[in-house]
């Protein structure tokens, strides 16, 4: 081998290797420099997406729906302004793309393309990486967009449901309010905070203004004159100074015969026929009291005391009502009387209570009535609307009238008291400071008045005819209301006396009856005879009517 031949072979192999390497690099460089049509499309898609997706606030953002759409992007809609297509140049996406391309070309020793040159200078691997990155980014954007859309839809549905729920709630509340208002008519949760009286000036807290109702018939006028007579008698006793006023609430179309003798408030009657005669004049009582309440609120001077004592005509005063306490102290209760013939537990009363006051306990319904009741003006104002409404309702429902009988409007009052949770203490005999009812009650007990609702008939065994009787229903004559005859007293007591129901007349009961009638006769003896006075009034009224008729006849002729 010639010297130097070995070096020549080596150089030849080396040259061949270099040639192969250069050829490969050339191929690779050409491929990287020229790229492929798809790579160019990808780069354009990236740039387009960058321009659309990273504009300033207020630009329209292109959302790619699928990878296929990413690979073949469509032109932006006409709704995008021309400025939107150039916003991406200063965006993060554009800067990132230029930086990546420059860095990659520098690493390969390639010259970066001039500004505005095609993106074909990006190597295949980088293009593929960018493609995958953009594809993943777009897919992520699609998922984010879907999630955002779903969230927006959920929020919209939630808001819509909320609006519907709120609207339904408001409608439900309004309906519930109307239903509750209809059911709770006459129920005043704040009644115990109302002013005690409409009178602004404070009156002595233990004084009493007595009220009673009447239709002005002879039957009730006879009783009223006796009751008022005994009232004036007890006012002269110790404690009588608390009885500061008395007012008759007359439900009648015109003044009656005792109008000048008894202080009277004239109310318009619901039953005008009761001026002469009607089956149940008491049906007008609640409405008449409501008229007085309304009038007193307009003219507070009508109210003379903080305590009001509502009575009926068939009462007999024996002594002043005990000191009730300070009416301005709301902790001090009023008083009512427990009648053993009033049964609030009967089904019809429980049902009526539930309709008027669903939250009320039937056990809290008193077995009383509107008289006798000692209560504040505010108490009467609260209880009377239900008393009035139910009284009218009962009168228009025959079944209710049959079930409740002659004491039906008393139940209406009791529901009014219970529904408004009034502070009125209900006591029966002998503890009650209000009334005793002989012969049912055998003594006065703690009471201040007698109530002669029951007739008293004395009989003896073996004798068919009664020995003696007193019954208010026998005193109905017109002339008796003008000049009251004395009431016959019972015979002396004997052990064999019985009542109409066969019960023994005890000495205690006999003395009680005698005491009641004695007070009545004492009052009767002091009452004036109104016969001549009323006769003159009637003659004057007849003359005035005749003169008016004559004058009217003259004008017509």
For the chain, the average pLDDT equals 78
pLDDT in the model for residue 549: 87
Torsion of CA 427, 429, 432, 434, to 10 degrees: 120
pLDDT in the model for residue 312: 97
pLDDT in the model for residue 356: 79
Tokens in use for 527? 């009452």
pLDDT at 452 over 90: yes
pLDDT in the model for residue 61: 39
d(Cα 533, Cα 547) in Å, to the nearest integer?
21
pTM: 0.68
pLDDT in the model for residue 44: 46
DSSP symbols for 385-420: HHHHHHHHHHHT-HHHHHHHGGGHHHHHHHHHHHHT
pLDDT at 287 over 70: yes
Euclidean distance between the first and the last CA atom of the chain, given in angstroms as a whole number: 178
Please name the helix (run of DSSP H) or strand (run of DSSP E) that holds residue 267, with its range, or none.
Answer: strand 264-267
3-state secondary structure of 227: helix
pLDDT at 367 over 50: yes
What average pLDDT does range 241-250 have in this prediction? 98
Residues 180-199 have pLDDT tens digits of 444 457 889 899 899 999 99
What average pLDDT does range 480-505 have in this prediction? 96
Q: What contacts 21, CB < 8 A, 6 or more positions away?
A: none
DSSP symbols for 430-476: TT-SSEE-TTTSSS-TT-SEEE--S-EEEB-TT--S-SEEE-GGG--
Q: Nearest CA to 310 among 445, 413, 391?
A: 413
Q: Nearest CA to 50 among 129, 137, 148?
A: 137
Burial of 206 (0-12, 13-18, 19+ CB in 10 A): buried
pLDDT tier at 118 (50, 70, 90 boundaries)? very low
DSSP state of 117: -
| 260 or 36, greater pLDDT | 260
pLDDT in the model for residue 159: 59
DSSP symbols for 175-206: HHHHHHHHHTTT--TTGGGS-S-S-SSPPPTT
Domain limits, the chain:
199-436, 449-530
| 239 or 66, greater pLDDT | 239
How far is C-alpha 329 from the geometric centre of its chain's CA atoms? 27
Q: What contacts 195, CB < 8 A, 6 or more positions away?
A: 378
Strands 468-470 and 456-458: antiparallel
d(Cα 475, Cα 489) in Å, to the nearest integer?
15
CA-CA-CA-CA torsion sign (41, 42, 44, 48): positive
24-28, 156-160, 470-474: which is most confident: 470-474
pLDDT at 68 over 80: no
**Where are the alpha helices (H) located in 209-346, listed in sequence order?**
218-234, 285-298
Residues 292-344 have pLDDT tens digits of 999 999 999 999 999 999 999 999 999 999 999 999 999 999 999 999 999 99
Q: What percent of the chain has pLDDT over 90?
A: 58
pLDDT in the model for residue 184: 52
pLDDT in the model for residue 101: 38
pLDDT in the model for residue 222: 98
Tokens in use for 427? 């006591």
Could you tell me which CATH class the domain 199-436 is placed in?
alpha beta
pLDDT at 55 over 50: no
pLDDT in the model for residue 550: 86
Q: What contacts 132, CB < 8 A, 6 or more positions away?
A: none
pLDDT at 474 over 80: yes
Only one residue has tokens 């009387």, namely 337
d(Cα 483, Cα 271) in Å, to the nearest integer?
27
pLDDT at 433 over 70: yes
CA–CA–CA angle 19, 21, 25 (5° rounding) = 115
DSSP state of 425: E
pLDDT in the model for residue 456: 97
């Amino acid at each position: 081998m010639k010297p130097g031949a070995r070096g020549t072979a080596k150089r030849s192999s080396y040259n061949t290797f270099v040639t192969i390497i250069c050829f490969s690099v050339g191929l690779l460089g050409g491929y990287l420099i020229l790229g492929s049509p798809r790579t160019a499309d990808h780069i354009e898609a990236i740039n387009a997406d960058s321009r659309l997706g990273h504009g300033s606030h207020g630009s329209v953002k292109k959302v790619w729906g699928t990878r296929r759409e990413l690979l073949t992007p469509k032109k932006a809609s006409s709704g995008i302004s021309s400025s939107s297509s150039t916003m991406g140049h200063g965006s993060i996406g554009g800067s990132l793309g230029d930086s990546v391309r420059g860095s990659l070309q520098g690493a390969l020793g390639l010259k970066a393309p001039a500004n505005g040159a095609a993106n074909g200078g990006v190597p295949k691997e980088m293009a593929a990486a960018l493609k995958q990155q953009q594809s993943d980014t777009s897919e992520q954007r699609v998922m984010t967009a879907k999630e955002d859309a779903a969230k927006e839809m959920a929020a919209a549905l939630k808001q819509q449901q909320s609006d519907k729920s709120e609207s339904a709630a408001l409608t439900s509340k309004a309906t519930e309010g109307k239903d509750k208002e209809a059911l709770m008519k006459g129920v005043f949760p704040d009644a115990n905070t109302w002013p005690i009286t409409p009178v602004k000036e404070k009156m002595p807290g233990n004084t009493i203004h007595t009220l009673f109702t009447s239709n002005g018939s002879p039957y009730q006028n006879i009783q009223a004159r006796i009751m008022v007579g005994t009232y004036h008698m007890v006012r002269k006793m110790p404690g009588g100074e608390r009885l500061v006023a008395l007012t008759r609430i007359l439900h009648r179309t015109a003044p009656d015969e005792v109008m000048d003798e008894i202080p009277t408030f004239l109310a318009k009657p619901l039953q005008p026929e009761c001026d002469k005669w009607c089956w149940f004049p008491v049906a007008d009582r609640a409405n008449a009291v409501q008229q007085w309440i309304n009038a007193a609120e307009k003219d507070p001077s009508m109210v003379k005391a903080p305590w009001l004592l509502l009575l009926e005509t068939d009462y007999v005063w024996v002594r002043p009502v005990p000191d009730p306490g300070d009416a301005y102290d709301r902790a001090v209760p009023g008083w009512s009387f427990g009648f053993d013939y009033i049964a609030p537990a009967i089904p019809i009363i429980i049902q009526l209570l539930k309709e008027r006051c669903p939250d009320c306990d039937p056990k809290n319904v008193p077995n009383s009535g509107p008289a006798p009741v000692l209560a504040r003006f505010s108490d009467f104002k609260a209880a009377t609307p239900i008393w009035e409404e139910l009284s009218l309702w009962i009168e228009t429902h025959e079944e209710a009238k049959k079930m409740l009988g002659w004491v039906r409007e008393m139940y209406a009052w009791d529901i009014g008291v219970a529904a408004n949770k009034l502070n009125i203490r209900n006591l029966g005999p002998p503890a009650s400071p209000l009334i005793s009812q002989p012969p049912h009650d055998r003594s006065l007990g703690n009471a201040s008045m007698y109530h002669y609702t029951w007739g008293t008939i004395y009989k003896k065994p073996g004798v068919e005819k009664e020995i003696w009787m007193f019954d208010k229903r026998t005193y109905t004559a017109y002339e008796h209301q003008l000049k009251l005859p004395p009431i016959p007293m019972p015979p002396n007591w004997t052990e064999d006396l019985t009542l109409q129901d066969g019960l023994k007349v005890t000495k205690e009961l006999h003395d009680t009856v005698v005491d009641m009638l004695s007070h009545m006769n004492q009052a009767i003896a002091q009452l004036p005879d109104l016969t001549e006075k009323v006769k003159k009034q009637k003659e004057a009224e007849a003359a005035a009517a005749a003169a008016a008729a004559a004058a009217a006849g003259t004008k017509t002729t």
